[in-house]
Structure formats: C-alpha cells, structure tokens
Amino acid sequence: MKAIAPGKLVLTGAYAVLDGAPAIVAAVDRYAVADASRADIDDDRPPEVDVRALYDQSGRKLGLGSSAAALVASLGARALARGEDPRSSGVRARIFREAREAHAREQGGGSGVDIAASVHGGVLRYAVDARGDANIRPLDLPPRVHLAAYDSGMSARTSDMRARFDASRPSLAASGLLTALADLANRASAAAEAGDGLSFIRASHEFGCALAAVGKACDAPIVPPPFAELAALADREAAAFLPSGAGGGDAGVWLGLAPPSAAFALRARALSMRPLALNIDRGGLRAESSS
C-alpha cells in the first residue's frame, strides 16, 4: 500500500502569513507517493518518495509544494506501516505537527501552509497565531470563481525569496508595505469566507499588486515581468493573476468569474507560460487506494 499527499497552490496571503495574516491555499491533484511496504517503523530514515507528478518532464519543479508533499507522504507511509489510518484526525494532527517542524528545519523557517494543504486537502484558510499555533479551517471558494494555474517555465527557490524578504523587514514595515499586505490578505480571506466572489477576486488582484511592490522594495523578483503583464491583462477581464506562494517564477494562479479568455491564453503562451491541468484535491493525505 502507498501513501499519497497532494501538492498545493497558495492563492493569497503569501509572506503576510508569516506575520499572522490568513492565507488561502488549495490542495491540487498532483501527488507525492510513498510506499508503505518500504517504510521501516524502527528506522528514522524516510522511505523513498516519488514526486515526479510535481515536476515537469525535464525534472524541473513546478512550484506545487513538492518538498512538503514528499515529507507528508513519507510520514503517511510510516503511519500506514504501523497500521494507522492517515485520514483520522488524530493521525493527521500528529503528522502535520511533525512535518511542519521538520520542513521548517529544512527550509530555514516558513509558516507550514503547504504542509497543511498536503495533510488535509481541499481549500483551507490558514493562519498562525502569536504563539506559533496553526489555525486551519476548510472553506469553499466563492460560487462561480474559476481557478486556473500556469507554469511559468522558471524555477524559484522559496528560501531565497524569503531570505530577501526577511532582510528587508525593517524597511518594509516602515514603509507600510507589511501592513498593506496583511490588510489585503485579510480582505481576501473575509471575502472568500463570505462567498463574495467579486470581492475575493478584487482583493486577490490588489494583493498581487502589493506583492509586486514588496518585491521591488526588497530587490526580489517576487512578481517577474511576465506575471505583471498577465496581471494587467487579467484585471481587464475582472480577474486576478498572481504568483502562487513566494513567487519568483514557478506557478501562477488565475482567479476569475470565467476561464481565461482566448486573448489572455494567447499572450500567456507567447510569454512561455503553459496551462497546468490541475483540479482541487479533496482527500488530503491518504492511502492510494482510498478515494
């Protein structure tokens, strides 16, 4: 038997989630797979994990949280090997805690939002309180909101983006950019929970603009030029287009009341962005045979 853990797309709240603001994250149906038959419960070494679905054919990561999904799948395989059900709330709570701590050590920090998506699946509102405890609530995207993902063809290291962000924290705080980012993350979250699709899309677009301003202020390509161009095109269609998560490349997210237009899709192709065939995963960590 094998354990599978989904990848993720962070829709809003990147960086702001590090300071307690909520992020909206969606688990996606690309999986890390770990073989429970090769998980030795008496050995601290993790089993091998297949993450090919979270990479492209050339072996480049797609920015779908491959390291988090791999870690969660590995812990899920060990749970299966012990005869535990990784869908049970108690097992998931333990795996989330262990994976979040291990991932933070490996990545030099982070909020754990990608771990939450890989453990629980679905769409989540994720926030971290002043004590560092995670508050995780499932939610549905507002009615009629269309989610689409694009692969930028560029790879980015989350740790590099976050290091530049952390080094610039004093100036970002002084300029009011951190407050603006948090306010927009809260607006997007409130709109999503209220089921207000138009307000959620508008807040998401403005959040993407704030990310661009943060990137400029800390000399980090959080919103690369192709993303900025497509964001402007999406805005003309009353939609949002922004980086998923820490930015710098990897995946981009479209949020609109309709799918991207032919004109948007044509320009995205010209900018070497290709659509990613993704759906929201509703199952989270589980045995591969479980639906």
Question: pLDDT tens for residues 71-114?
Answer: 999 999 999 999 999 999 999 999 999 999 999 888 878 899 99
Percent of the chain with pLDDT strictly greater than 90:
83
Instruction: Quickly count helices (H) and strands (E) in the chain.
Output: 9, 10
pLDDT band at 159 (very low <50, low <70, confident <90, very high): confident
Nearest to 255 by CA among 269, 268, 242, 274: 242
pLDDT band at 37 (very low <50, low <70, confident <90, very high): confident
Q: Which domains occur in the chain, in start order? A: 2-140 (3.30.230.10), 146-276 (3.30.70.890)
Question: What's the average model confidence in pLDDT over 275-291?
Answer: 89
How far apart CA 123 and CA 139 sit, in angstroms, is 6
Question: What's the average model confidence in pLDDT over 142-156?
Answer: 92
pLDDT band at 246 (very low <50, low <70, confident <90, very high): confident
- 216 pLDDT higher than 90: yes
Percent of the chain with pLDDT strictly greater than 70:
96
> Please, what is the average pLDDT of the chain?
93
Please state the pTM of the whole predicted model. Answer: 0.93
> Cβ-count burial of 43 within 10 angstroms (0-12 exposed, 13-18 middle, 19+ buried)?
exposed
Contact (CB, 8 A) for 130 and 107: no
Confidence (pLDDT) at 41: 60
Confidence (pLDDT) at 291: 47
- 165 pLDDT higher than 50: yes
- 43 pLDDT higher than 70: no
- Provide CB contacts within 8 A for 274, sequence distance 6+: 150, 151, 153, 268
Distances (CA, A) of 141 to 48, 104, 149, 189, 200: 34, 28, 15, 10, 9
Q: Both tokens of residue 186?
A: 């809260």
H/E element, 10: strand 2-12
